[in-house]
Amino acid sequence: MRQDDFVLLRLAYLTVTNLFSALRLLPISDHDKDTEILALRHQITVLER
């Protein structure tokens, strides 16, 4: 596999995973979003220690 093929494959993979991540956020409620934000803030607090 050439370097160019690897770069294109990785770009395609990242594009698809980011698309699915964005689509996952569309149907969730405000309460679910708030819960996820709180969990992410907690993770940041733990990582900053």
Q: Where are the domains of the chain?
A: 3-48
Taking the complete model, does pTM exceed 0.85, yes or no?
no
The rounded percent of the chain whose pLDDT value lies above 70 is: 98
Rounded-to-integer distance, Cα 49 and Cα 45, Å: 7
- pLDDT higher than threshold 90 for residue 33: no
Q: What is the pLDDT of residue 1?
A: 65
pLDDT in the model for residue 21: 85
- Amino acid in the structure at residue 14: L
Collect all residues with Cβ–Cβ distance below 8 Å to 33 and sequence separation of at least 6. 25
Phi, psi angle pair for 44, to nearest 5°: -65, -45
Mean pLDDT rounded to a whole number for the chain: 88
**What is the total residue count of the chain?**
49
State pLDDT tens for residues 11-31: 999 999 999 888 877 777 888
